């Protein structure tokens, strides 16, 4: 089966923006199959005047979702043009579980989502959704800033702290996006504490090159008290079009968008972030 790009949608402007980016990505990577996926759930409406819970009509919700998905699909088909196949999927499912199933069904190479806005409420709601999705799938999730328009990916930055790289860095999906895009790779360590770098730094750089089957990766150490400032400056100076963020261990995903560095990247970065981790067993 041909590869696809999966775009979870709630039919909002944010979802449309994600689809715009996915079309540009598909053109560059020669992935011409887009899967628009809507996971609907039955909301619970509580009547404050009664001690009971009322359920919204399931069939009505399904019909509304189906109609909205058809309209959204029509707009994306017009936007993508004849070169793309646009598939629509809808089911009754939690978003994360549904995305995982659809990625398997449609051989999705990437999931594209977009975020916009700021503030604790926005970050907590949107962030928890992105976290649950990232926890449940083995497919790279690209998070696109609300103000970012697709630019050809020619320079990719991989954030790295050089701790247990053999067991924490998912080399295969990183290698794949590098091969698909033919982009240059910049491996960057943002040193916020002026810690002593590992004595084996040169050897680890050699190992990263070997695992990614490259000889041209550039390695940089940036000293900055602010991770966000450091990576932003580096991304601008080196014209990065994509930043790869790698959760290091189990438990990190639970706080991925709650005060972590990836929170800052996802909601404050001007560049798209690709969240990728070791394959989940």
Sorted by where each begins, the domain ranges of the chain are: 4-145, 155-275
Q: d(Cα 114, Cα 266) in Å, to the nearest integer?
A: 9
Q: d(Cα 79, Cα 16) in Å, to the nearest integer?
A: 10
Pick from 77-86, 98-107, 146-155, 196-205: least confident: 196-205
pLDDT for res 259: 47
pLDDT for res 56: 57
HEC profile of the chain = CCCEEEEECCCCHHHHHHHHHHHHHHHHHCCCEEEEEEEECCCEEECCCCCCEEECCHHHHHHHHHHHHHHHHHHHHHHHCCCCEEEEEEEECCHHHHHHHHHHHCCEEEEEEEECCCCHHHHHHHHHHHHHHHHHCCCCEEEEECCCCCCCCCEEEEECCCCCHHHHCCHHHHHHHHHHHCCEEEEEEEECCCCCCCCCHHHHHHHHHHHCCCCCCEEEEEECCCHHHHHHHHHHHCCCCEEEECCCCCCCHHHCCCCCHHHHHHHHCCCCEEECCCCCC
pLDDT band at 260 (very low <50, low <70, confident <90, very high): low
Q: Work out the percent of the chain whose per-residue pLDDT is above 90.
A: 44
Which position has the higher pLDDT, 41 or 123? 41
pLDDT for res 263: 58
pLDDT band at 146 (very low <50, low <70, confident <90, very high): confident
Residues 155, 159, 162, 164, Cα dihedral to 10°? -110
Which position has the higher pLDDT, 156 or 215? 156
Task: Say if residue 91's pLDDT is above 80.
Answer: yes
Task: Say if residue 139's pLDDT is above 80.
Answer: yes
Residue with tokens 């701790």: 163
Question: What kind of fold does domain 4-145 have according to CATH?
Answer: Rossmann fold (3.40.50)
Task: Say if residue 136's pLDDT is above 70.
Answer: no
Residues 49, 55, 60, 63, Cα dihedral to 10°? 130
| Domains 4-145 and 155-275 fall in the same CATH topology | yes
User: What is the average per-residue pLDDT within 185-195?
Assistant: 86
Mean pLDDT of the chain: 81
Which position has the higher pLDDT, 51 or 109? 109
Domain spanning 155-275 has what CATH number?
Answer: 3.40.50.620
pLDDT for res 150: 96
pLDDT for res 122: 45
Contact 101, 131 (CB under 8 A): no
pLDDT band at 57 (very low <50, low <70, confident <90, very high): low
């Amino acid at each position: 089966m041909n590869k696809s790009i999966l775009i979870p949608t709630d039919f909002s402007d944010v979802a449309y923006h994600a689809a715009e980016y996915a079309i540009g990505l598909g053109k560059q990577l020669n992935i011409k199959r887009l899967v628009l996926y809507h996971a609907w759930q039955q909301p619970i409406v509580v009547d404050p005047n009664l001690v009971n819970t009322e359920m919204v009509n399931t069939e009505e919700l399904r019909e509304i979702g189906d109609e909205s998905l058809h309209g959204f699909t029509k707009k994306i088909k017009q936007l993508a043009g004849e070169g793309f196949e646009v598939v629509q999927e809808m089911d009754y499912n939690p978003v994360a579980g549904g995305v995982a199933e659809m990625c398997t069904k449609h051989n999705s190479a990437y999931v594209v989502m977009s975020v916009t806005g700021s503030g604790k409420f926005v970050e907590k709601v949107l962030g928890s959704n992105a976290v649950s999705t990232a926890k449940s799938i083995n497919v790279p999730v690209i998070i696109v800033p609300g103000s970012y328009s697709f630019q050809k990916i020619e320079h990719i930055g991989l954030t790295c702290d050089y701790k247990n790289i053999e067991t924490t860095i998912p080399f295969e999906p990183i290698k794949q996006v590098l091969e698909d895009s033919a982009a240059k790779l910049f491996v960057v360590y943002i040193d916020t504490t002026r810690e002593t770098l590992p004595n084996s730094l040169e050897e680890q750089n050699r190992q990263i090159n070997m695992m990614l089957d490259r000889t041209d990766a550039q390695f940089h150490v940036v000293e900055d008290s602010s991770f966000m400032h450091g990576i932003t400056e580096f991304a601008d100076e080196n014209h990065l079009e994509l930043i790869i963020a790698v959760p290091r261990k189990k438990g990190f995903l639970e706080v991925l968008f709650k005060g972590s560095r990836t929170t800052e990247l996802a909601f404050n970065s001007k560049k798209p972030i690709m969240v990728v981790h070791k394959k989940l067993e």
